[in-house]
């Protein structure tokens, strides 16, 4: 799997702890603890990623492990290898067979901007 052209890539040998914010698409295949805020961008959680964070994004595609709540103003996609332990809040949700979700799911027809979803 390769990151989308034009996105920032953080590889699997990296461990990050803290707050991550930005305005460009991100492919994260690393270990991460903290918070991620990409309100106008897409986050891809790679197959090797282990993310312990609350996520506020426009769109997200999950291949790896996420422990935390996901607030997406757009779409959440959980691929076959995805494991999510936390609540999902989005306008659209796609879950492939074999993906695992443990938490509440809230879908809204006109989602509030991701920054307001946490209020």
Which single residue is written with the structure tokens 């799911």?
105
SS (H, E, C) 30-77: CEEEEEEEEEEEEEEECCCCEEEEEEEEEEEEECCEEECCEEECCEEE
Instruction: Output the pLDDT for position 109.
Output: 77
- At 110, is the pLDDT very low, low, confident or very high (cuts 50, 70, 90)? low
The domain limits of the chain are: 8-101
Instruction: Output the pLDDT for position 7.
Output: 75
Residue 33 gets the label, from left (phi > 0), alpha (psi -120 to 50) or beta, of: beta
Query: Phi/psi of residue 50, each to 5°?
Result: -130, 105
DSSP label at 81?
T
Mean pLDDT of the chain: 90
- At 119, is the pLDDT very low, low, confident or very high (cuts 50, 70, 90)? very low
The DSSP element (H or E) to which 115 belongs, if any, is helix 114-117
């Amino acid at each position: 799997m390769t990151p989308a052209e034009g996105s920032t890539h953080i590889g699997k040998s990296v461990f990050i702890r803290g707050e991550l914010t930005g305005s460009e698409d991100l492919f994260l295949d690393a270990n991460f603890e903290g918070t991620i805020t990409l309100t106008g961008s897409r986050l891809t959680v790679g197959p090797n990623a282990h993310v312990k964070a609350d996520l506020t994004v426009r769109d997200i595609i999950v291949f790896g492990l996420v422990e935390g709540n996901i607030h997406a103003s757009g779409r959440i996609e959980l691929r076959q290898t995805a494991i999510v332990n936390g609540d999902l809040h989005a306008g659209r949700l796609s879950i492939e067979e074999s993906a695992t979700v443990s938490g509440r799911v809230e879908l809204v027809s006109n989602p509030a901007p991701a920054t307001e979803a946490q209020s």
